[in-house]
């Protein structure tokens, strides 16, 4: 799945109001980023590499597994497959977007 396809799926999941009330960046390293502005109305999802209140570093492959329910976020965090920088509380709110 390409970054553009993943970004479009995230737009669908986030919708106009994700309830996050914050900015989140998913950093896939060389594969790019997805920036979710959950503080704006309506919420926006782009591939801009901007500062966010919470940055999640994860491989694109593991991100796909996470969104498909094949990888538990807590397990991924404990195994080092997912790293959180910034506000951990925002990362916890993401489960509502992925459920």
Sort strands 23-27 and 54-58 into parallel, antiparallel or unpaired.
Answer: parallel
Indicate which CATH number applies to the domain containing 78: 3.30.1050.10
Sheet holding 54-58, edge to edge: 44-46, 33-37, 23-27, 54-58, 82-86
Q: What is the pLDDT along the chain (99 residues), one digit of tens a residue?
A: 999 999 999 999 999 998 899 999 999 999 999 999 999 999 999 999 999 999 999 999 999 999 899 999 999 999 999 999 999 999 988 887 776
- Angstrom distance (rounded) from CA 82 to CA 59: 8
Domain extent at residue 79? 3-98
Per the structure, how many domains does the chain have?
1
CA distances 75 to 63, 66, 78, Å, are: 13, 10, 5
d(CA 62, CA 81): 7
């Amino acid at each position: 799945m390409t970054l553009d396809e993943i970004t479009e799926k995230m737009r669908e999941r986030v919708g106009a109001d994700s309830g996050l009330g914050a900015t989140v960046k998913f950093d896939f390293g060389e594969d790019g980023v997805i920036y979710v502005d959950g503080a704006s109305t309506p919420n926006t999802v782009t591939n801009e590499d901007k500062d966010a209140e919470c940055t999640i570093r994860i491989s694109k492959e593991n991100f796909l597994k996470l969104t498909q329910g094949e990888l538990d976020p807590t397990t991924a965090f404990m195994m080092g497959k997912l790293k959180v920088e910034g506000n951990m509380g925002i990362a916890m709110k993401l489960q509502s977007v992925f459920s």
